[in-house]
Amino acid sequence: MTKSCYLSIFLALFSTFWLCVNSHFDYKDALTKSIIFLEAQRSGKLPPDHRPPWRGDSALDDGKEAGVDLVGGYYDAGDNVKYGFPMAFTVTTMAWAAYFYEHEIKDAGELNNLLAGIRWGTDYFLKASLQQNRLFVQLFQFAEEHQGTFDGACPFYCSHSGYNDELLWGASWLYIATKDPLYLQYVNEESTSAVVNEFSWDLKYAGAQVLLSQLYWEGQKELHMFQQQADGYICAVHPDSPYRQPFMTPGGLIHFRDGANSQYVTSTAFLFSVYSDLLARHNVQVICGEKTLTHTDLMCFAKQEMNYLLGHNPAHRSIMVGFGHNPPLHAHHRGASIPVTAKTEDVTCGMSFALWFNTDAPNPNELTGAILGGPDRADVFIDSRMNSSYTEPCTYINSLAIGVLAKLAHKAKHHEL
């Protein structure tokens, strides 16, 4: 047998080992810290109960030049910019966690904090959409001068998947919230959908399909196609499925692309967790060719993906700041990397790079709870501020972790793991 064959067998066995070994973490602590990170990403005038002690008020003049109040919202990642597209996804997935796992989040004592975080985002979006047929987005001048679709032309957060997934996603949520049959009619008669292997701020089909599957099993049989597509998503992702498409690292981590790959880890874990509960609730399974996947199979995979981020990985280290063994110290984050200074002291962009960003010193401010971009395809994680693909956090990584962490914390508390 050739060396390459031996290596392939070793990697396959190693991957299975990391995927299936049972390990437990303080999921309640991870849940709390995940929400604290989102608080650290708030823009605007911070409330008195704000938990990250080093974070101050910021961007208090947003909208002033246009004569409107656009103070508030969230910075998407490490560089103090508010992007409406990923912010909407962050807030919606926070709301989904509260909607589906309300009992578990309340049991962990974090429901009020999560609801406050959701309101922080929705209050901002209400401000940005107060004027009829006018939506303020970052930055306003760009939107005004380049009206129309931004596919292929936008500088950041370009929607490569188009807008049909957003229309299905929005109609699904609006129907759940209002029960207005017009939204259900759109879903059934006008929407576009497809089987995919990814759920993200850009590609939302799988999330909408899981949402609609819940309605299907609750009696709305006209939504059967979406439930079948949700099954297709599971079959396209689960490592034991004959139709699995995404790459799995030797250590058992799902990997789509370098640069905030952890977002796909938490999004996969969240959808698998929710779908697992739906399968258990309605006593059904997912059939992937000759392979049958149970609700236990789905939850096992979701748990192992979250465990990898929390420290059960080949490097034996946490990818969440301030949690677990050997957590990261150099998050790619402007606020965390600059020491707290006097209010009268000016800090310029040039100073921030020269004095703090381009150094090997740990961040002076702990970005508690931030799940960073994560390791590469070889399970290598480099804790360096300048390697943003490894160390930059994003709000939508953490928002998607909330529900599954709450479920794991609840099960651990009641000795169900």
DSSP alpha helix (H) spans, 238-382: 262-282, 295-310, 334-337, 349-351
How many of the other CB atoms lie within 10 Å of CB of 218?
Answer: 11
Give SS3 for 235.
helix
Alpha-carbon gap, residue 335 to 352, rounded angstroms: 10
Contact 243, 252 (CB under 8 A): no
Give SS3 for 239.
coil
Query: What sign does the dihedral 29-91-211-265 (CA atoms) show?
Result: negative
Indicate the helix (H) or strand (E) that contains 248.
Answer: strand 247-248
DSSP annotation of 378 reads T
Q: State the burial class of residue 246 (Cβ atoms within 10 Å of its Cβ: 0-12, 13-18, 19+).
A: middle
Angle at 196 between CA 191 and CA 198, to 5 degrees: 115
Q: What is the DSSP pairing of strand 254-255 with strand 291-293?
A: unpaired
Active site residues: 79, 332, 383, 392
Q: State the burial class of residue 134 (Cβ atoms within 10 Å of its Cβ: 0-12, 13-18, 19+).
A: exposed
With tokens 């709301």, the residue in question is 95
With tokens 């810290």, the residue in question is 33
Angle at 272 between CA 315 and CA 210, to 5 degrees: 150
